[in-house]
Structure 1
Amino acid sequence: MKEILEFQKNEITEYHVYRRLSKRVKNENVKILLSIAEDERKHYETLKDISGKEIKPSKFLIFWYSLLAILFGITFALKLMEKNEKKAEKAYKNIAKNYPEVVKIMRDEEKHEEELLNMLDEERLNYVSSMVLGLNDALVELTGALAGLTYAFQNSKIVGLSGLITGIAAAFSMSASEYLSQRAEEENGKTNPLKAALYTGLAYIVTVTILVAPFLILNNPFLALAITLIGAALIVLLFTFFVSIVKEKNFGKYFLEMFLLSFGVAAFSFFVGIIARKIFGIEI
């Protein structure tokens, strides 16, 4: 009965979530989400007949998924919902023998998964590769440059200013390259070259700002570098989680790949800074 009540709460919560998210989409997607929401309400009523109890939805989850849709897009929020649907399918199988009514709920959950996968078509997802390009290039290039400059100069403000100038210049350069690249393939894809360039540049500049900020705020360059590396790790963590959800990639493998690449270059550049300082004997 405890499981039934949990399922009941989930169903009525998802009913409200789907209805709220339906207000953020257009065209046929609205009808699909409202249809799924109505199914969730029916599931709730079925489970209520079994439990004999009225359950209130989780206001926190309704707010949480709505917030995720605003911050990361409707696709990200729905994909997370889909993951919960898969967990629910497995859980429903465990109690289906005792409650035959649950079988229909299981079939509906499987149908929801297919409908959600077919309906997801969000503009920003067409530019994920552009965002990956800007973010990953900024991480690899700037963490390496900042690490090398930290030991070479050992002056926070000079390292921060050098990183900022390098980062902004690289952002414009990368945006221009992405524009030309997308322009050459414009006829074959859904992406707009100008938007692709903007997504690349924006991802690059946001990453540069996060990585350079500690050097402009703190006086200790090595402490600033440590905070920068922590920031880089968090950026990699959040972005790989986002991509793993919307593109259904293996999170662990994708995170490890980006992490090792970024921090491997940073470590190598730090040693280059040590060698450069000893060879040229620069003191600032």
Structure 2
Amino acid sequence: MNKIVKQQQNEITEHLIYAELAKISTDKKNIEILYEISSQELSHYEFWKGITKKEIKPNKWKIKKYVWLAKMFGLSFSLRLMEMGESEASKFYSSIAEKYPEALTIQEEELQHEQKLIGILNDNRLNYAGSIVLGLNDALVEFTGTLAGLTFAFSNNKIVGATGLIMGFAASLSMAASGYLSSKEEEENEKINPITAAIYTGVSYILTVVFLVAPYLILDNPYLALGLMLLTTVLIIAGYTYYISVAKILSFKKRFIQMAVISIGVAAISFGIGTIIKQIFGVNI
């Protein structure tokens, strides 16, 4: 009975989560979908209430958590993350199916209907994921290599940091222009606004550069700054890969390893090139 009460609370909590997300949504299609799922969760709550004969209060912290995640990272990420945490619910349905056969119907709705509805949500952040990746990937690959090369060519953190920022701002404008032209070519995709795509590309690029350059502006030791920059690179890759893997239900491990190997590999090559150039030209700053 305790497990049933817990599931009853989950149903009323998710009913309110979907309802709150519908209130903050501006897309009519999303609002309809979210209210439909909310209504479904309420019917599940009523079913369990008929068994427990209790009114259960929702988990208010959980409601605030997923609404905040939706505001910050988009509907798809928030809802997919919520669905990922429901493996225990599947075990629960199987354990009580013999006594309450109706639980199998609810389980089927949870696994299929909600996933189908979430899959057709309009999520601007995912629509522009390609633009973000364009800026993020280019910044990671170019600047891990550039900063590694400058570190061994100059061995002066302030010069490396200042040079990195100047190059970063210039490159972000170039990448924004590339993002704009690239999205203009995709005329069949009506969800993509070229100007918005350009903004996403440019902003993701410059923010990545700022994070990578920061160790050089904070620390005095160039090699410690290089190590921290590479660690930052790995963390950025891990964070964004996790976001995409949850929102789009993709393999985290494969995408993470691919991006990390490319970025760190370029940095290693640039390390060698920077050392060679320093020796050839006798640069000593």
For normalisation by structure 1, the TM-score amounts to 0.92
Aligned-pair CA distance for 1:184:
2.9
After superposing on structure 2, the runs of 4+ consecutive aligned residues of structure 1 that deviate more than 6 Å are none
Taking the TM superposition and a 5 Å limit, the aligned residue runs for 1:209-248 are: 209-248=210-249
> 2:276 maps to which residue?
275
Q: SS at 1:57's partner residue?
A: coil
CA 187–49 in structure 1, closer or farther in 2 if over 3 Å, else same: closer
Taking the TM superposition and a 5 Å limit, the aligned residue runs for 1:147-162 are: 147-162=148-163
For 1:278 and 1:189, the matched residues in 2 are separated by 53
Choose 40-49 or 50-59, whichever is displaced more.
Answer: 50-59
Aligned-pair CA distance for 1:86:
6.2
> 1:23 maps to which residue?
23
Contact map agreement 1:12 1:40 (CA 8 A) in 2: yes
> 2:116 maps to which residue?
114
Aligned-pair CA distance for 1:233:
1.4
CA 126–48 in structure 1, closer or farther in 2 if over 3 Å, else same: same
Q: SS at 1:249's partner residue?
A: coil
> 2:82 maps to which residue?
81
Post-superposition Cα deviations, 1:41-93, rounded to whole Å, max 9, x if no partner, equal 23223223434554332222111101111111122112223334566345422
> 1:68 maps to which residue?
69
Taking the TM superposition and a 5 Å limit, the aligned residue runs for 1:158-173 are: 158-173=159-174
For 2:91 and 2:201, the matched residues in 1 are separated by 40
Contact map agreement 2:172 2:205 (CA 8 A) in 1: yes
CA 86–186 in structure 1, closer or farther in 2 if over 3 Å, else same: farther
Which stretches in structure 2 are left out of the alignment for 5+ residues?
Answer: none
For 1:79 and 1:269, the matched residues in 2 are separated by 39
CA 5–271 in structure 1, closer or farther in 2 if over 3 Å, else same: farther
Identical pairs, percent: 51
Choose 251-260 or 36-45, whichever is displaced more.
Answer: 36-45
Aligned-pair CA distance for 1:139:
0.5
Post-superposition Cα deviations, 1:209-237, rounded to whole Å, max 9, x if no partner, equal 11111211221222222222222111111
For normalisation by structure 2, the TM-score amounts to 0.91
Name the Cα RMSD after superposition: 2.0
Aligned residues: 283
Which stretches in structure 1 are left out of the alignment for 5+ residues?
Answer: none
